[in-house]
Amino acid sequence: MYKYDPKSLKAEEFINDGEILDTLKYADENKDNLPLIDSILAKAKEKKGLTHREASVLLACENPDKIQEMYALAHQIKLDLYGNRIVMFAPLYLSNYCVNGCTYCPYHYQNKHIARKKLTQEEIRREVIALQDMGHKRLAIESGEDPVNNPIEYILESIKTIYSIKHKNGAIRRVNVNIAATTVENYRKLKEAGIGTYILFQETYNKESYVKLHPTGPKHNYAYHTEAMDRAMEGGIDDVGLGVLFGLELYRYEFAGLLMHAEHLEAVHGVGPHTISVPRLKRADDIDPSKFDNGISDDIFAKLVALIRISVPYTGMIISTRESKAVREKVLPLGVSQISGASRTSVGGYCEPEPEDENSEQFDVSDKRTLDEVVRWLMELGYIPSFCTACYREGRTGDRFMTLCKNGQILNCCHPNALMTLKEYLEDYASTETLTIGNGLIDRELIKIPNDKVRGIATEYIHDIHNGKRDFRF
Ligand code: SAM
């Protein structure tokens, strides 16, 4: 008999292999049980989320009508809780020095072929200026794991540099951090440095596969990696971002593990993950995704996105430029709340492209459009591209964002903030065509703000932004 306990602080008890296998068996047995599926969908409609067992039944269900119901529900929940806003960000790779041996990542230490780079503070300054000049306000910093080349002091200094740069009207107002699992003390330092979300992908929840996929280096330690979010929360970071790298293991196993992780955080810390990312394995320097057996189709990918949305309604969902324009378009209505735009996955490369013989890229980017093109495309699809960072700057982190959603204040708070930050983008960085489309969108969206006072103030602020003022927020 196995021991599964969501409240345990031991990786193998809160992500329990036996419980996952039983869940998959239960899901298989019930995949055609329409009364049960209907009752799970009815529960999901209440927007209180689903357990990993309930959600796994929906994932196993292959009935086309029921799948359409799942998609419609995911779309509705997204509209009710997030409206039509899509938050924009870009990754910034600081260093690809790495001591780990991850078999799917070209930064593994045995790769002598890839160019190794680490940005100096001056190079970071130049990269950040290039990112600000595109219009970005929110970054996710990325780094390989290397205690000698990329110690925590380097990461902290880099964060300080990033926040300090104010070029023209530009500013990076939120730095999220995606670095390897670390100590409570280091998480506390990251919190003090003013980071937004701490993001760490689990890669796979299957311990046996995890150990094989990470044969050497500190990342080999499954428990240390899996328990990282608990240490981050102990260190005071209450916005954490989960994710698995789809393609490494069976997607149904990963999905159950991901939801169990979310349930664990909720059970222990009273707050679930701030975001979930859904990266898929990509071709990279010495990595061929076809060598991994568990790639998933675009349809399964869409189903996963929809089911994450209905299972953890208050958790943001992130899609990166690993996905093409077409795939992004397919999954946006199913619950995505954040996307990256104009990303470079090389170390450096925003201020000038890398020479061909000096490739330091982590993986191939599929969506290569400029930020202006992505912003225009989103607006043409009826979304509001948002550069908002207000919640974090107003201290609305952890469960406080959830309270905002539950009180129905999204339209009186997030919506105007999105419009004001979009207006800043349009005034400072947009092409003429994007500007015209954007101004029309803002006019149409302003009238949707229910509270008369808030609508009046937002209209005034947008007018002020047109006249040169910046950085308003509710
Ligand atoms: N080094 C940090 C760590 O150990 O967690 C994380 C930073 S890494 C730059 C960001 C993520 O890229 C990894 O967690 C992994 O999921 C993803 N990644 C690595 N190789 C990839 C590939 N070939 N295709 C797509 N994503 C990949």
Residue 402 has pLDDT above 80, yes or no: no
pLDDT of residue 399: 79
Best of 96, 178, 199 for a ligand 1 pocket test (most atoms within 8 Å of beta carbon): 178
Is residue 36 within 8 Å of residue 30, measured between CB atoms? yes
pLDDT digits (tens, 9 = 90+) for 233-255: 999 999 999 999 999 999 999 99
Average pLDDT (192-220) is 98
The percent of residues above 90 in pLDDT, for the chain, comes to 92
Best of 95, 96, 109, 201 for a ligand 1 pocket test (most atoms within 8 Å of beta carbon): 201
* 392 band by pLDDT with thresholds 50, 70 and 90: confident
pLDDT of residue 100: 98
pLDDT digits (tens, 9 = 90+) for 43-55: 999 999 999 999 9
Residue 311 to residue 134: CA distance in whole angstroms: 35
Classify residue 291 by burial, with Cβ atoms within 10 Å: 0-12, 13-18, 19+: exposed
Average pLDDT (430-438) is 98
CA–chain centroid gap for 429, Å, is: 24
Q: Check if 287 has its Cβ closer than 6 Å to any atom of ligand 1.
A: yes
Residue 347 has pLDDT above 90, yes or no: yes
Average pLDDT (309-313) is 97
Classify residue 395 by burial, with Cβ atoms within 10 Å: 0-12, 13-18, 19+: exposed
Residue 99 has pLDDT above 90, yes or no: yes
Q: Which atom of ligand 1 is nearest to the CA of 243?
A: 16
Q: Check if 90 has its Cβ closer than 6 Å to any atom of ligand 1.
A: no
Backbone angles phi, psi at 145, to 5 degrees: -100, 115
Q: What is the mean pLDDT of the chain?
A: 96
Of the candidate ranges 69-73, 299-303, 407-411, the one whose mean pLDDT is the lowest? 407-411
Q: Is 149 helix (H, G, I), strand (E, B) or coil?
A: coil
| pTM for the model | 0.97
Q: Check if 281 has its Cβ closer than 6 Å to any atom of ligand 1.
A: yes
Residue 358 has pLDDT above 90, yes or no: no
Average pLDDT (331-358) is 94
Q: Is 347 helix (H, G, I), strand (E, B) or coil?
A: strand
Alpha-helical (H) ranges within 34-166 are 34-45, 52-60, 64-82, 121-134, 152-164
Residue 211 has pLDDT above 90, yes or no: yes
Classify residue 224 by burial, with Cβ atoms within 10 Å: 0-12, 13-18, 19+: middle
Q: Which atom of ligand 1 is nearest to the CA of 245?
A: 16
End-to-end distance of the chain based on CA atoms, in angstroms?
A: 52
Count of Cβ atoms closer than 10 Å to residue 294 Cβ: 16
> What six digits make up the tokens of 313?
């309604």
Average pLDDT (349-373) is 92
> What six digits make up the tokens of 110?
């045995």
What is the whole-number distance in angstroms between the Cα of residue 244 and the centre of ligand 1? 10
Q: Check if 245 has its Cβ closer than 6 Å to any atom of ligand 1.
A: yes
- Alpha carbon separation from 301 to 134, 296, 307, 331, 418 (Å, rounded): 30, 6, 10, 8, 28
The percent of residues above 70 in pLDDT, for the chain, comes to 100
pLDDT of residue 251: 98
Q: Which atom of ligand 1 is nearest to the CA of 105?
A: 20
Residue 442 to residue 445: CA distance in whole angstroms: 5
Residue 145 to residue 177: CA distance in whole angstroms: 13
DSSP secondary structure letter of residue 352: S
Residue 427 has pLDDT above 80, yes or no: yes
What is the whole-number distance in angstroms between the Cα of residue 185 and the centre of ligand 1? 23
* 352 band by pLDDT with thresholds 50, 70 and 90: confident
Burial annotation 360-382 (CB, 10 A radius, 16+ → b, else e): bbbbebbbeeebbbbbbbbbeee
pLDDT digits (tens, 9 = 90+) for 122-177: 999 999 999 999 999 999 999 999 999 999 999 999 999 999 999 999 999 999 99
- Alpha carbon separation from 392 to 310, 398, 399, 461 (Å, rounded): 24, 9, 12, 20
Bridge partners of residue 46, in order along the sequence: none
Q: Check if 124 has its Cβ closer than 6 Å to any atom of ligand 1.
A: no
Count of Cβ atoms closer than 10 Å to residue 397 Cβ: 17
Residue 83 to residue 122: CA distance in whole angstroms: 39
Q: Check if 225 has its Cβ closer than 6 Å to any atom of ligand 1.
A: no
* 393 band by pLDDT with thresholds 50, 70 and 90: very high
Q: Check if 362 has its Cβ closer than 6 Å to any atom of ligand 1.
A: yes
Best of 94, 103, 104 for a ligand 1 pocket test (most atoms within 8 Å of beta carbon): 104
Q: Check if 203 has its Cβ closer than 6 Å to any atom of ligand 1.
A: yes
Residues in the chain: 474
Residue 401 has pLDDT above 80, yes or no: no
Q: Give the residue, by CA position, lying nearest to ligand 1 atom 11.
A: 201
Residue type at position 65: D
Residue 412 has pLDDT above 90, yes or no: no
